[in-house]
């Protein structure tokens, strides 16, 4: 695509953008009396303006009904989680029976591992990516220890080749092939949090299934960012949070996917909880766990209604905008950010900043990771003070996430001006 580093060009792109009006559906932070450029939805999304209305509605129901709100509220709390299922299923490309919103991301993954990581003396290996999100690494470490295994023996991490930042998918496939006889599980982040690399989940799933292994994914940085087709790709299980690109507030309720071919098997090993029990008999207080069919059978507790209300506010916006429309804008917007960044860097040949995110737009989400070669966090701190909110990851990477729901081409252009001003001082 042909970009231009001019304000006129950026404004013309925004003017012709059918999604530009969605920016006004969110609250934009004002820091030091200045509206900031917010490029960090890969850490925490912005607040939908309708969130307060949706939460206040449930507060009013609580005031009116007390405990009876579980049954007599306009949206009865006993089944509130079912309200957000259809939109969640559409976002991840699943049947409604395969999705439930519950718990938190790592808790949900632990619950899924109870079902899908059943190592034997012959098959016990987990293949995953190097430099995965720390919580995922802790998950793997403690899960294999729970089964009496040593992490260094049971976990194989696929790394970038020497001198490279990205993992080659052919290397992942090669590692799967090399360890096929002992392989139990292939587990990757859908998008690597550090580099922004988007993995081919269909290809990885096929590679795992070829050798009788399970394929599961952490979609924290993929859900609401890129279109997913979990059912079509025959993924076994997945989980995601909702507070990044899904804009549902810090630490809010997460979601999980269980393929119908597993979810309909009530004999599959799992940890039981009240809300996963047969809902027709839930209030009979029976002693024996009778799991519901589908993903709902993995539920532990009843829904946190106030958090669910915020999630509903955001999902309603996603349904209006459409994930494929958002992806189309995201590719253009992130491409424009890459172009602006490179245009500015050309003026400062001695400055050592490097994009470590895939250059191919189809191999990345709404993120560019910038490596600060030979410098430290002080550059990030100066960028923040200048009104650009990004994210720093040790030891030397700044992550920028231009989000199609509420970032504009003019945001990207203004970032370029800020970057140039800082580099003038820095160099």
pLDDT tens digits, the chain, 427 residues: what are they?
A: 799 999 999 999 999 999 999 999 999 999 988 999 999 999 999 999 999 999 999 999 999 999 999 999 999 999 999 999 999 999 999 999 999 999 999 999 999 999 999 999 999 999 999 999 999 999 999 999 999 999 999 999 999 999 999 999 999 999 999 999 999 999 999 999 999 999 999 999 999 999 999 999 999 999 999 999 999 999 999 999 999 999 999 999 999 999 999 998 888 999 999 999 999 998 889 999 999 999 999 999 999 999 999 999 999 999 999 999 999 999 999 999 999 999 999 999 888 899 999 999 999 999 999 998 877 788 899 999 999 999 999 889 999 999 999 999 999 999 999 999 999 987 6
Q: Is residue 306 part of a domain?
A: yes
Instruction: Judge if 374 and 284 occupy the same domain.
Output: no
Asked if residue 1 is part of any domain, the answer here is: no
Could you give the CA distance from residue 63 to residue 46 in angstroms, rounded to a whole number? Answer: 28
The pLDDT value recorded for residue 267 is 81
Please report where in the chains the tokens 């990044």 appear, as a residue. Answer: 244
What's this model's pTM, rounded to 2 decimal places? 0.96
The Cα 244–Cα 92 span in angstroms is 15
In a domain, 369, yes or no: yes
* Residue 207 and residue 138 share a domain: yes
Are residues 282 and 347 both part of a single domain? no
What confidence score (pLDDT) does residue 13 get?
98
Q: Using alpha carbons only, what angle is made at residue 117 by residues 291 and 251, rounded to the nearest 5 degrees?
A: 70
Given 270, 285, 319, the domain boundary residue is 319
User: Of all helices (H) and strands (E), which one includes residue 412?
Assistant: helix 409-426
| Pair (63, 43) in one structural domain | no
* 60 shares a domain with 19: no
- Beta carbons of 384 and 22 less than 8 angstroms apart: no
The answer as to whether 98 is a domain residue is yes
Alpha carbon 42 to its chain centroid, in Å, reads 7
Last residue of a domain, one of 260, 295, 319: 319
Residue 26 shares a structural domain with residue 167 = no
Residues 361, 253, single domain; the answer is: no
Domain with 261, as residue range(s), is 53-319
Residue finishing a domain among 295, 319, 343: 319
Largest Cα–Cα separation, the chain: 72
Residue 374: the pLDDT is 72
* 3 state SS of 395: coil
Which residues make Cβ contacts (< 8 Å) with residue 353, sequence separation at least 6? 341, 345, 370, 371, 372, 373
CATH number of the domain enclosing 289: 3.40.640.10
Whether 236 and 256 share a structural domain:
yes
CATH number for 378: 3.90.1150.10
pLDDT (tens digit, 9 = 90+) per residue, 269-299? 999 999 999 999 988 899 999 999 999 999 9
Q: Token digits for 391? A: 């994210």
Does some domain include residue 351? yes
Residue 2 forms part of a structural domain? no
pLDDT at 427: 66
End-to-end CA distance of the chain: 31
Domain co-membership, 312 together with 374: no
- The encoded tokens of residue 114 equal 């109870």
Q: Are residues 227 and 346 in the same domain?
A: no
Cis peptide before 395 (omega within 30 of 0): yes
Structure tokens at 143: 């899960």
Q: Tell me: do 396 and 249 sit in the same domain.
A: no
Residue 95 domain-assigned? yes
Instruction: Assess whether 113 and 57 both reside in one domain.
Output: yes
Number of structural domains (the chain) is 2
Burial zone of 9 (CB within 10 Å; 0-12 exposed, 13-18 middle, 19+ buried)? middle
Assigned domain for 406 exists: yes
State how far the Cα of 20 lies from the Cα of 41, in Å rounded to an integer: 17
Residue showing tokens 């160099």? 427
For residues 94-126, one letter each, b for 16 or more C-beta atoms within 10 angstroms of the residue's C-beta and e for the rest, the string is: bebbbbbbbbbbbebbbbbbbbbbebeeebbbb
């Amino acid at each position: 695509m042909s970009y231009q580093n001019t304000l006129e060009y950026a404004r013309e792109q925004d003017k012709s953008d059918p999604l530009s009006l969605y920016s006004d559906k969110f609250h934009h932070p004002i820091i030091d009396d200045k509206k900031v450029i917010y490029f960090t939805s890969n850490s925490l999304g912005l607040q939908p303006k309708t969130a307060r209305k949706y939460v206040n509605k449930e507060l009013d129901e609580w005031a009116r009904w007390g405990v009876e709100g579980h049954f007599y509220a306009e949206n009865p709390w006993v089944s509130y989680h079912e309200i957000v299922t259809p939109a969640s299923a559409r976002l991840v490309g699943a049947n409604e029976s395969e999705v439930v919103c519950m718990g938190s991301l790592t808790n949900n993954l632990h619950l899924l591992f109870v079902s899908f990581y059943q190592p034997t003396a012959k098959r016990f290996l987990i293949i995953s990516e190097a430099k995965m999100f720390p919580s995922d690494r802790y998950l793997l470490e403690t899960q294999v220890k729970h089964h009496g295994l040593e992490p260094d023996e049971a976990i194989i991490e696929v790394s970038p080749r020497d001198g490279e930042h990205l993992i080659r998918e052919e290397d992942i496939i090669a590692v799967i092939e090399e360890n096929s006889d002992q392989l139990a599980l292939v587990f990757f982040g859908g998008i690597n949090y550090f580099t922004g690399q988007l993995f081919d989940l269909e290809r990885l799933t096929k590679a795992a299934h070829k050798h009788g292994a399970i394929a599961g994914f952490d979609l924290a940085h993929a859900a609401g960012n890129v279109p997913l087709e979990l059912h079509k790709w025959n993924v076994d299980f997945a989980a995601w949070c909702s507070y990044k690109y899904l804009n549902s507030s810090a630490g809010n309720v997460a979601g999980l996917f269980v393929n119908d071919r597993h979810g309909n098997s009530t004999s599959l090993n799992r940890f039981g909880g009240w809300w996963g029990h047969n809902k027709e008999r839930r209030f009979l207080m029976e002693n024996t766990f009778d799991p519901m069919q589908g993903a709902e059978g993995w539920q532990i507790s009843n829904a946190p209604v106030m958090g669910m209300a915020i999630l509903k506010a955001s999902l309603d916006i996603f349904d209006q905008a459409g994930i494929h429309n958002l992806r189309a804008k995201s590719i253009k917007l992130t491409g424009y950010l890459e172009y602006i960044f490179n245009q500015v860097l050309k003026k400062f040949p001695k400055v050592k900043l490097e994009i470590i995110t895939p250059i191919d737009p189809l191999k990345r989400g709404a993120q560019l990771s910038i490596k600060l070669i030979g410098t430290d966090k002080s550059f990030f701190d100066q960028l923040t003070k200048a009104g650009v909110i990004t994210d720093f990851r040790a030891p030397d990477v700044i992550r920028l996430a231009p989000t199609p729901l509420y970032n504009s081409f003019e945001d990207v252009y203004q970032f370029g001006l800020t970057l140039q001003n800082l580099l003038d001082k820095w160099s």
